[in-house]
């Protein structure tokens, strides 16, 4: 009884995992066509996020979700840094920086400077911080600290840049208003307890209000840092496991 031999090609996957050998979309299509013409039975397309070019595109899309569908801003905050971090973890910091730059350029070209020079920098900063933690094998807790610090630095830059460079004079007021709407449920009982203005928008400009908002801002930084580290570590672990299996 004769045996049937099937050809399983991993060019489009393993090629993407070798530094300097990544392919753009047209090159991938051409390789796939050639493999098809050779009657290859199975063509493995690979992990998109393992390719620097594809990772930059994925990160840019996650950032632009905020622009297209504002209610998905949480997805942007929790996941947009992960593709950049994964590239840094797989290929090194230089590849991570290149992916971050590409992501910023893509967002600027599609969404404009108001998001391209603000939220796109968020993904880049947190992605590189998370990638640094991957490269140096930091523990989960230390990784969260590093990413939270990047969050605080980037958000400080974002507000400053929006006000003084882009000329969005109400950027800070809008940020405070959004934050106030979230914490109103806890602010009012605290205001009665500490004799502060029950309106968080007004109290934000008092000393007590500023201290409370700063504490809440730090808590927010650690929440988003936690989710970025959790998601990033799991994806990187799965990618590395898939590479070992093949």
**Two structure tokens written together for 191:** 């205001």
Residue 238: pLDDT band (50, 70, 90) is confident
Q: DSSP letter at 20?
A: T
Q: What is the CA 57 to chain-centroid distance, rounded?
A: 11
Q: Do residues 60 and 103 make contact, with C-beta atoms less than 8 angstroms apart?
A: yes
Here the tokens at position 230 are: 């959790």
Beta bridge partners, 8, equal 42
Q: Give the bridge partners for 15, in sequence order.
A: none
Query: In the predicted model, what is the mean pLDDT of the chain?
Result: 79
Per-residue pLDDT of 85-107, as tens digits, reads: 999 998 899 999 999 999 999 99
Per-residue pLDDT reduced to its tens digit, 108-164: 998 888 888 888 999 999 999 999 999 999 999 999 999 999 999 998 888 777 666
At residue 223, the pLDDT reads: 93
Is the CA virtual torsion 27, 29, 35, 40 positive or negative? positive
Q: What is the pLDDT of residues 57-90, one digit of tens each?
A: 889 888 888 777 766 778 888 899 999 999 999 8
CA trace torsion 160, 107, 61, 119 (10° rounding): 0
Contact 69, 75 (CB under 8 A): no
How far apart CA 42 and CA 189 sit, in angstroms, is 63
Burial of 86: CB neighbours in 10 Å, binned 0-12, 13-18, 19+: buried
pLDDT confidence tier of residue 35, bands split at 50, 70 and 90 = confident
pTM, rounded to two decimals: 0.70
Identify the residue with better confidence: 76 or 174.
76
How many beta carbons lie within 10 A of that of residue 127, not counting itself?
Answer: 30
């Amino acid at each position: 009884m004769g045996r049937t031999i099937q050809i399983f090609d991993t060019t489009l996957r393993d090629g993407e995992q070798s530094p300097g050998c990544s392919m753009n979309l047209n090159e991938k299509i051409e390789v796939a066509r050639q493999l098809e013409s050779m009657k290859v039975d199975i063509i493995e397309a690979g992990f998109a996020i393992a390719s620097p070019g594809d990772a930059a595109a994925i990160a840019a899309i996650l950032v632009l979700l905020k622009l297209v569908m504002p209610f998905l801003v949480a997805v942007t905050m929790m996941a947009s840094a992960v593709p950049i971090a994964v590239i840094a973890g797989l290929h090194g910091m230089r590849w991570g920086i290149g992916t971050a730059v590409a992501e910023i350029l893509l967002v600027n070209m599609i969404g404009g400077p108001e998001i391209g020079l603000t939220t796109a920098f968020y993904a880049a900063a947190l992605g590189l911080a998370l990638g640094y933690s991957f490269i140096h094998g930091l523990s989960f807790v230390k990784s969260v600290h590093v990413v939270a610090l990047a969050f605080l630095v980037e958000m400080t830059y974002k507000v400053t840049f929006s006000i003084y460079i882009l000329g969005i004079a109400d950027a800070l007021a809008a940020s405070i208003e959004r934050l106030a709407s979230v914490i109103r449920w806890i602010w009012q009982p605290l205001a009665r307890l500490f004799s502060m203005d029950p309106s968080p928008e007004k109290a934000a400009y008092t000393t007590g209000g500023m201290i409370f908002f700063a504490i809440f801002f730090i808590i927010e930084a650690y929440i988003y840092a936690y989710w970025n580290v959790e998601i990033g570590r799991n994806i990187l672990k799965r990618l590395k496991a898939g590479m070992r299996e093949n």
